[in-house]
Amino acid sequence: MRRKSGHWSPLLTGTPQIGRATNPFLNSNQFMVYRYDFENFGYTHKGKLMPFKRKDLLGIRDLEAHEIEHILDLAFSLKEINTRPIKKVPTLRGKTVVHLFYEPSTRTRTSFDVAAKRLSADTYSITASTSSMVKGETTLDTLKNLEAMKPDIFVIRHSASGTPHRLAQRTSASVINAGDGMHEHPSQALLDMMTIREHKGRIKGLTVLILGDIAHSRVARSNIWGLSRMGAKVVVCGPTTLIPMGIEQMGVVVSYRLEDVIAAADVIMVLRLQTERMQQMLLPSLREYAVCYGLNAQRLESAKRDVLVMHPGPINRGVEISPEVADGPRSVILDQVTNGVAVRMALLYLLGQRYEAGPEN
Amino acid sequence: MQNFLFRRGRVIDPARGIDQVADVLVVDGRLMDIQPDLKIGMDWLANVHQFDMDGKWIVPGMLDMHVHLREPGEEYKETIASGTRAAVAGGYAGVACMPNTKPVNDTAAVTQFILEKARQEAACHVFPVAAISRGLQGEHLTEFGELRESGAVAVTDDGRPVMNSLLMRRALEYARIFDLLVISHAEDLALAEGGLMNEGPISTLLGLRGIPNAAEDAMVARDILLAELTGGRLHIAHVSTAGSVRLVRDAKKRGVPVTAETAPHYFTLTDSELLSFDAVFKVNPPLRSAEDRESVREGLADGTIDVIATDHAPHSLLEKDTEFEYAASGMIGLESALPLVLELVRCGVLDASKAISKVTCNPSKILGVPMGTLNPGKAVTLTVIDPKVDYILDCKSFESKSRNCPFHGRQVQGRVELTLVEGKIAYSRS
Ligand SMILES: [Zn+2]
């Protein structure tokens, strides 16, 4: 699997292969070193080189632990680029990345766009309002038309679960799922895992509490798959009406009372509560939700001192999380955003390079 | 020449309690005799098509009491001609067609149009089922009397439920005057709202909104209570849940005039098929859990479920090759049902005679149509089945205009060899 050196050497030039994550919560004698084997283009798992061979990145459920490890290692290595004065490497020069967004999302699209541009890819954004979908063209038509222009990677977000999966079967380009319905949001889960690993030094053995609207959350689903695969214990907590049937079968512990589970958590992931849940008769009022499940400073007193507070954004301040917690010392919400760029660079890098390696992969 | 002699076939006619190897003689399209080792004179033999059955099954022409022929209005999906060609290729000599066409079959004129079209173009019998409510709107009863007069054999708002309980009560009451069957598409729309598949661990995993079993069970329970109240003849379409089976079983024990049908996909598939996000598996009611499938099989075995119908629901690629959420619900079934029924026989759920009764005499009796048994002296309507042949189902070879078959590519056993409708060959595989 040794690859020709050459086309990515600009990335290596002047780039230390060791990224160092600094973290105020860590003891000074602890610092983490992440090493990615650029030379062999892969992650060494149990002494064996495991190259990343996928065409698409559609969900966390499909990924093996060593693949997640692989992506996170690479993301830590690439993160350094984002701290340079000139935040750009020519790795994906000449590659075309198309953002195909059928659902409004400024954050995720911007994050993918920044990631792609820092790797020197050409990027194009097509959103539902500018696409021809409104003129009766189907999503598949749109994809086929765009494919005729020979893009290398599609980054697809769609409000209907499963759409990136079906589209990926119909295109030879790589597809990255940037969020599909209530199904998966793999890049979000990866950046969450990266943030946890950055601050805690590990994922294995931690207890992660996912709090709120589990039923409608693709972030929750992707994190459940990823965290459990990486050896964390996942607890989901929320009102009965927002915990979907049979979620235990995904390997989580379910609780309906935050006070029962908050003390055990090493990480609390707070989910966004959509206000339309009120109309769907799922909740009586935002007020009661905030009272029962909102994460505020007082509640946080019963949590571990070094608990991490996370939120995928955008935040409904005062509903699922209070401002003093969101902006408080335990919050790593902005680190999540920073790591989002690094994780998406890693994904684009892996899939972009796969393409270089030829269709047999 | 419509003279046939079928030698050594296994004749299965559950209505008359026949299951034996025999010869079947058809003269001038009429069934003359069924007997082991039938003796016929040499002079006769020259004028007779002889078929060596060698253990192949000869059964009364099959009847599918739940088919969407799509004509009038959606002829790009199916027509009376193509749908009935698919029917005879699947062994069916008759189909009952649902009223959710465009326009809806809610007036005598539409019923007559369907029957006239069928007279000209259909390959088999077509029995129109009319709407319960005008335009399927669930507000006003249609004119049952005139519809019955024009040839409608039952009423239903299939495709959607009658949500208004009072209207359903009136339908069951009023239908008694004309001895019309009332077919219930049992679905509580509020409980099912936004649902795309069965609610359970798989819908949770896939992030697809679920339809709980209770959406079906609640309406089955309501309609049974209304049938009990009114004495109207109730038939529950496409039973998919354990709860429905239990409710129908209990109601029958109490003597409520209720019958029930299920479809091959409910006793064959489960919601785990949805893991592919392939909209070919999207159907309403949805594919359920393995426990539900087991209960449906038990219901078939103990007679709670009287009928196997296909709910043949053709859709074009336009409706199916799209995002799962936006795709239309429904599967075609006419040309894949028989081998799946035979699977039930092979795995011991039903014996051959019981299995055949669920696609012949039972639906005929429930609909009150003159089919379902081999009547000597009458124009013959029968199906010849080779129960042994192994092959792979290929929907590209289907007569149906649509390709939304969830069993495409499945290894199956058993195939239709010949379908005779009223003495004429409607389908012959060779
Ligand atoms: Zn129906």
pLDDT digits (tens, 9 = 90+) for A323-337: 999 999 999 999 999
Query: For the segment B188-197, what is each residue's pLDDT rounded down to a tens digit?
Result: 999 999 999 9
Instruction: Quote the pLDDT of residue A13.
Output: 38
B32 within a domain of the structure (yes/no): yes
- Look at residue B63 and tell me whether its pLDDT is greater than 60: yes
Report whether A73 contacts A36 (CB < 8 A): yes
Which of B347, B367, B387 corresponds to the end of one domain?
Answer: B367
Closest CA to B378 of B10, B9, B2, B29: B29
Q: Is B85 in the same domain as B134?
A: yes
- pLDDT score of A6: 36
Two structure tokens written together for B146: 């005139």
User: Do B195 and B224 share a domain, yes or no?
Assistant: yes
Confidence of residue A39 (pLDDT cuts 50, 70, 90): low
CATH code (residue B26): 2.30.40.10
Pairing of strands A207-211, A233-237: parallel
In a domain, B148, yes or no: yes
Confirm or reject contact between B208 and chain A (CB < 8 A).
yes
Q: Would you say residue B73 lies in a domain?
A: yes
Of B340, B367, B394, the position where a domain reaches its end is B367
Q: Looking at the structure, do residues B51 and B80 belong to the same domain, yes or no?
A: no
Whether the per-residue pLDDT at B213 is higher than 90: the answer is yes
Asked whether the predicted pLDDT for residue B341 surpasses 50, the reply is yes
Q: How far apart are CA B228 and CA B226, in angstroms?
A: 5
pLDDT at B423 over 70: yes
What is the number of other CB atoms lying within 10 angstroms of the CB of residue B221? 19
Domain's final residue, options B367, B400, B418: B367
- Please indicate, yes or no, if residue B50 is contained in any of the structural domains: yes
The reply to whether residue A165 touches residue B277, judged by beta carbons under 8 angstroms, is yes
Alpha-carbon Rg for chain A, nearest whole angstrom, is 20
Kindly identify which residue of chain B lies nearest to residue A164, measuring between CA atoms.
B323
Same domain for B166 and B222, yes or no, is yes
Q: Do B324 and B416 sit in the same domain of this protein? A: no
Q: What is the mean pLDDT of residues B197-202?
A: 98
Instruction: Assess whether B90 and B226 both reside in one domain.
Output: yes
Are residues B210 and A180, on separate chains, in Cβ contact within 8 Å? Answer: no
More confident residue, A32 or A164: A164
Same-domain check for residues B317 and B390 = no
Same domain, B99 and B74: yes
Helices (H), chain A: 9-12, 65-79, 106-118, 139-147, 163-168, 186-200, 218-229, 258-261, 286-293, 297-300, 323-326, 333-356
The answer to whether B199 faces chain A, any CB pair under 8 Å, is yes
Question: Closest Cα of chain B to A221: distance in Å?
Answer: 7
Residue type, A4: K
pLDDT value at position B80?
98
CB A51 within 8 A of CB A42: yes
Of the listed ranges A345-359, B87-101, B122-136, B145-159, the one predicted with least confidence: A345-359
Q: Are residues B10 and B134 in the same domain?
A: no
- Per-residue pLDDT tens digits for B370-396: 999 999 998 999 999 999 999 999 999
Instruction: Determine the average pLDDT of the residues in A83-89.
Output: 88
Nearest CA-CA partner of A345 in A17, A37, A91, A4 = A91
Range of the domain at B192: 60-367
pLDDT, position A21: 40
**Per-residue pLDDT, A30:** 35
Find the B342 Cα to ligand 1 centroid distance in Å. 24
Q: How far is A356 from chain B (nearest CA, A)?
A: 29
Residues of A in contact with B200 (CB under 8 A): 245-246
pLDDT above 60 (res A9)? no
Q: What is the band of B174 on the pLDDT scale with cuts at 50, 70, 90? A: very high
Q: How confident is the model at residue A50 (pLDDT cuts 50, 70, 90)?
A: low
| Domain-embedded: residue B417 | yes
- pLDDT (tens digit per residue) in B104-125: 999 999 999 999 999 999 999 9
- Is the CB of B204 less than 8 angstroms away from the CB of A139? no
Mean pLDDT value across residues A94-118: 94
Which of A61, A156, A182 would you mutate first to test chain B, the one with the most B CBs within 10 A? A182
**Arithmetic mean of pLDDT, A34-58:** 67
Q: Is residue B48 part of a domain?
A: yes
**How far is the alpha carbon of B206 from chain A, nearest alpha carbon, in Å?**
5
Smallest CA–CA distance, residue B272 to chain A, in Å, is: 14
pLDDT 10s digits, B246-305 = 999 999 999 999 999 999 999 999 999 999 999 999 999 999 999 999 999 999 999 999
Best residue in B204, B278, B280, B316 to probe A by mutation, most A CBs within 10 Å?
Answer: B204
Q: Which residues pair with B141 in a beta bridge?
A: B133
Look at residue B372 and tell me if it is in a domain.
Answer: no
**Cis before residue B103, ω within 30 degrees of 0?**
yes
Is B322–A180 a contact, with Cβ atoms under 8 angstroms apart? no
Chain A hits for B190, Cβ within 8 Å:
none
For the ranges A141-145, A233-237, A274-278, B221-225, the lowest mean pLDDT is seen at: A274-278
The reported pTM is 0.91
State in Å: Cα B66 to ligand 1 middle. 9
Q: Which of B360, B340, B385 lies closest to B10, judged by CA?
A: B385
| A chain contacts of residue B325, beta-carbon cutoff 8 Å | 159-161, 181
Per-residue pLDDT tens over the stretch B221-230: 999 999 999 9
Q: Are B140 and B253 in the same domain? A: yes
- In this model, does residue A31 exceed pLDDT 50? no
Nearest CA in chain A to B194: A280
Q: Where are the alpha helices (DSSP H) in A80-183?
A: 106-118, 139-147, 163-168
Nearest one of B372, B368, B370, B371 to B178, comparing CA atoms: B368
Phi, psi torsion values for A105, nearest 5 degrees: -165, 100
Q: Is some CB atom of chain A closer than 8 A to the CB atom of B275?
A: no
Q: CB pairs below 8 Å between A and B: how many?
A: 69
B185 CA distance to ligand 1 middle (Å): 5
Dist CA A220 CA A217 (whole Å) = 5
**Where residue B267 sits, what CATH number does that domain have?**
3.20.20.140
H-helix or E-strand containing B171? helix B165-175
Could you give the number of structural domains in chain B?
A: 2
- Residue A356 pLDDT > 70, yes or no? no
Q: Which residues of B are catalytic?
A: 311
Q: Is the dihedral of CA A230, A231, A237, A243 positive or negative?
A: positive
Based on the fold, state whether residues B161 and B32 are members of the same structural domain: no
- Determine, for residues B207 and A163 on separate chains, whether the beta-carbon distance falls below 8 Å: no
Query: How far is residue B165's CA from residue B172's CA, in Å, rounded to a whole number?
Result: 11
Percentage of residues in chain A having pLDDT higher than 90: 67
- For the stretch B143-152, pLDDT in tens is 999 999 999 9
Q: Are residues B295 and B389 in the same domain?
A: no
pLDDT in tens, A198-244: 999 999 999 999 999 999 999 999 999 999 999 999 999 999 999 99
What is the model's pLDDT at position A328? 96
The answer to whether position B285 is within a domain reads yes
The answer to whether A201 faces chain B, any CB pair under 8 Å, is: no
Whether the predicted pLDDT of A131 surpasses 70: no
Chain B residue numbers with beta carbons less than 8 Å from the beta carbon of A244 are 203-204, 210
Mean per-residue pLDDT, A257-280: 92
Higher pLDDT, A140 or B413: B413
